[in-house]
Amino acid sequence: MSCKDPTIYEIRVQGHLSPLWHDSFEGLAIILEENGNTCLTGAIVDQSALHGVIKRIRDLGMPLIEVKRKTDTPD
């Protein structure tokens, strides 16, 4: 993986986020979980973009539960 490849992240927030926010979250998939939380998942191009997503979550007043970087699995 080169430095320019996007990294896959799972970001969990407390509460359900409307799927209408899809475009505001860099095209991340919005998955509503049965426990009432939302998981945003997908590729984020760099740390600046990751901080932008986290800032949007903060601005919505949604508590951040977890930010998880998905690791590549060996072939």
Q: How many domains does the chain contain in total?
A: 1
What order of strands is seen across the sheet that includes strand 64-69? 29-32, 37-44, 7-14, 64-69
pLDDT digits (tens, 9 = 90+) for 41-74: 999 999 999 999 999 999 999 999 999 999 765 5
Return the percentage of the chain with pLDDT > 90, whole number. Answer: 71
Would you say residue 75 lies in a domain? no
What is the token pair recorded at 6?
């996007």
pTM of the model: 0.84
pLDDT of residue 3 exceeding 80, the answer is: no
Would you say residue 2 lies in a domain? no
Q: CATH no. for residue 39?
A: 3.30.70
Would you say residue 74 lies in a domain? no
Would you say residue 12 lies in a domain? yes
Q: Which domain holds residue 17?
A: 7-69
